[in-house]
Chain A
Amino acid sequence: MDKANDNAIVARGLTRRFGDLVAVDHVDLTVARAQVYGFLGPNGSGKSTTIRMLCGLLLPTEGDIDVLDCKIPQQAEALKRRIGYMTQKFSLYDDLTVYENLDFVAAVHELSRTDARKRIDELLTTYWLTQQRDQLAGTMSGGQKQRLALAASVLHKPELLLLDEPTSAVDPQSRREFWDSLFALADQGTTILVSTHYMDEAERCHRLAILDHGRLVADGSPRDLCAALPGQALLIECANPRRAQTALDGEPAIVSMAQIGAHLRVLVHDGADARATIAAKLKAQGIDARIDAVEANLEDVFVVATQRPKNKAVAA
């Protein structure tokens, strides 16, 4: 098989400038087919801009993009029949009913009337919208709107689905159901690129890219990224974690600290001496503490990756 056919998306040196601002800065991206690929990054890190460039909505300032073997932006129109795009903000019509919205999208994709009716019924069932069939989209809950938006973007059975922070306005239960739907689509062979800023969602992806200030700062499977983390996560258990945090403030060996319940989670640079330094420092302050080494999680990876934007990307 041709190598290009294994990958749904190949982007090299992807760059986009808005005036002086570099929104996306030389990003290299490879997304294999039938994968759920995650884009993790803080707000303004260039996730939306990258997704928009990949589906031809924005022109890249520099770089080559190849999506489903289409050269972008030159072959963007041909690509538009094969991708589904779900925007960050609900972009269907609030003043149309669920059925009318889907009927319109079906016509836009040139489905015949009979095919459209069959496909819409199918989607209403899959996405639990049968009861809302004749309800105006504007009057639905966040979770329902989002299921409708997903139904609309997969109506024409796209090979690639691009989702821009699809779960930002949705409760945890709906989020869980939404991700179940995404995996169901991936099982049927759809490639999915999804941006998020939720760690639990990022953890579910087959592969993950972390973006920060327009740069790709980490890329790999969640497990590999955790394993390759250059550092050690420590859990400090003590009577007053707040005081411990103040005591450790400014310690050069520490990358980050976060209080989690009654514990203090500390990320330190590699080397056994960091742990000893911390123990000594706490003791000097008269804080009695127990320090355990724990396994790094995705949040640690994220913190390390986005704290050192100047450093070389963490590759795994």
Chain B
Amino acid sequence: MNLRRLFSIVLKELRQLRRDRLTFAMIVGIPTMQLLLFGYAINLDIRQLPAAALDQAQTAHAREVVAALAETSVMDFRYHLKTPQELDELLRGGKISAALVIPADFERRLAEQNLDTQPWPRPPLQIVVDGSDQVVQQAAAQLALLPLQNLLNPAAPTPVKNVEIVNFYNPARLAPVNTVPGLIGVILTMTMVLFTAMAIVRERERGNLEFLIATPVSPFELTLGKVLPFVGIGLVQVTVVLLLGMLIFHVPIRGSLLDVYGAALAFIVASLSLGVFLSTLAKTQFQSMQLAFFTFLPQILLSGFMFPFAGMPKPAQWLAEIFPMTHFIRLIRGIMLRGARLSELWPELAALAAFCVVTLTIAVLRTRKRLD
């Protein structure tokens, strides 16, 4: 290990990077674009679901129910229908995702609800949903909890709800607050793994390596020198996402900023290790790109960024525990949203460290300073 040599490799990488306009633009361009895109587009809260109302009762109470539901702005009643056939057609054609059905005997069913009769009376309202969309189903399930007694007798005290949903940490139910911290993970995964894997394989593909291995340079120096600039680049990307997240989406950082960067640094190193490992498997830059993409999807889908971790089947959870992104999502959400300290989240850090040790060990074992 020679510091002058290491420094000259870093310098060479930076010089090459400066001339590679596209990569250079991607370093800042990718985080900005993804943040804006996902921040605005990924909104798991249902608002303005296209809907229809089929009011067969035509009573004052029925109209009140429709108005009350419309007010939640979960459903947007674009159609007011007369027959179940119309409803069928709209739903099948995808014109609406949900429909509120008020049966002709709505008043009688409502009255029966108040009498404690046995067997249980039929519910007075029906919400028909497009079951092909899971998210819509969830929204409908929430609508079903809407207390209706108030409608019948406004003077009566508000009935006690069976389940009270209290939204901690994201009281306004703003999606970007959940999305932006995770997005740091997505962006770092995509750029760090891809850039390192490609940068190392490029040397081999262009034939530079044949010259280099005939010199005293060691594979360790070469890899470290190529990877170091990306640590800096990763931290720049984290800063871009944090700044945009705060300025545009008002995402809070409840924990310490130092902890945020600490977690990011650990994740950057883990992603770079993965990139170095992938580079030992690929012969061409194209192969390394394919390998990198192969690791993106499972990480993004299973890490808890897209879907709730607890909802996944056990084997998927075990698999997800391997991915660095899973641990980073827990770290960054904990620090940014719950105000946790990095030291409290040490098991996640330990998992990232273990990932680095394993991938780098395999990479080193696979690297030989020869052509065969």
Contacts and interface: CB of A to CB of B under 8 A. Distances in A.
A93 B199 CA distance: 13
B5 A110 contact: yes
Interface in B37-85: none
Contact of B216 (A77, A87, A91, A100): A77
B210 interface: yes
Contacts of B15: 95-96, 100
Given A57-B371, A58-B370, A58-B372, A104 B8 contact: yes
Contacts of A59: 370, 372
B208 interface: yes
A104 B8 CA distance: 6
B7 interface: yes
B16 interface: yes
A100 B12 contact: yes
B8 A80 contact: no
A95 B216 contact: no
A172 to B, nearest CB: 25
B343 interface: no
Nearest to A85: B214
A293 interface: no
A76 to B, nearest CB: 8
Interface of B: 2, 4-5, 7-9, 11-12, 15-16, 19-20, 206-217, 369-372
A83 B213 CA distance: 12
A81 interface: yes
A209 interface: no
A57 B215 contact: no
Given A89-B210, A152-B211, 17 more contacts: A52-B371, A57-B370, A57-B371, A59-B370, A73-B370, A77-B216, A77-B369, A81-B216, A91-B207, A91-B210, A93-B208, A104-B12, A108-B5, A108-B215, A110-B2, A110-B5, A136-B19
Which of the listed residues A52, A85, A108, A136 has the most CB atoms from chain B within 10 Å of its own CB? A108
A90 B211 CA distance: 9
A190 to B, nearest CB: 16
B211 A92 contact: yes
Contact of A108 (B210, B216, B369): B216
Given A57-B371, A87-B207, A96-B15, A108 B8 contact: yes
Given A57-B371, A59-B372, A95 B8 contact: no
A85 B211 CA distance: 7
B113 to A, nearest CB: 76
Contacts of A243: none
Contacts of B4: 107, 110
Which of the listed residues B11, B213, B214 has the most CB atoms from chain A within 10 Å of its own CB? B214
Interface string A152-189: 11000000000000000000000000000000000000
A16 B20 CA distance: 40
B208 A92 contact: yes
A91 B211 contact: yes
A308 interface: no
A57 B7 contact: no
B214 A55 contact: yes
A41 interface: no
A253 B265 CA distance: 78
A96 to B, nearest CB: 6
Interface of A: 52, 55-59, 73, 77, 80-81, 83, 85, 87, 89-96, 100, 103-105, 107-110, 136, 152-153
Contacts of A56: 214, 370
A80 B5 CA distance: 15
A109 B221 CA distance: 13
Contacts of A108: 5, 8, 212, 215-217
B315 to A, nearest CB: 40
Contacts of B217: 108
Contacts of B206: 91, 94
A105 B215 contact: yes
A259 B98 CA distance: 89
Contacts of B371: 52, 57-58
A103 B8 CA distance: 8
Which of the listed residues A55, A83, A91 has the most CB atoms from chain B within 10 Å of its own CB? A91
Nearest to B19: A95
A94 B8 CA distance: 17
Contacts of A94: 206
B221 to A, nearest CB: 9
Given A57-B213, A80-B215, A87-B207, A95 B16 contact: yes
A96 B206 CA distance: 14
Contacts of B2: 110
B14 to A, nearest CB: 11
B241 to A, nearest CB: 29
Contacts of A77: 216, 369
Contacts of B16: 93, 95-96
A133 B194 CA distance: 33
A252 to B, nearest CB: 44
16 contacts: A52-B371, A55-B214, A57-B210, A57-B370, A80-B216, A85-B214, A87-B211, A89-B210, A92-B211, A93-B12, A93-B16, A100-B12, A105-B215, A107-B7, A110-B2, A152-B211
A283 B95 CA distance: 98
A81 B207 CA distance: 20
A302 to B, nearest CB: 28
A109 B5 CA distance: 8
A278 B170 CA distance: 101
A81 B2 CA distance: 14
B356 to A, nearest CB: 27
A86 to B, nearest CB: 8
Contacts of B208: 91-93
Which of the listed residues A85, A94, A100, A104 has the most CB atoms from chain B within 10 Å of its own CB? A104
Contacts of A52: 371
B214 A89 contact: no
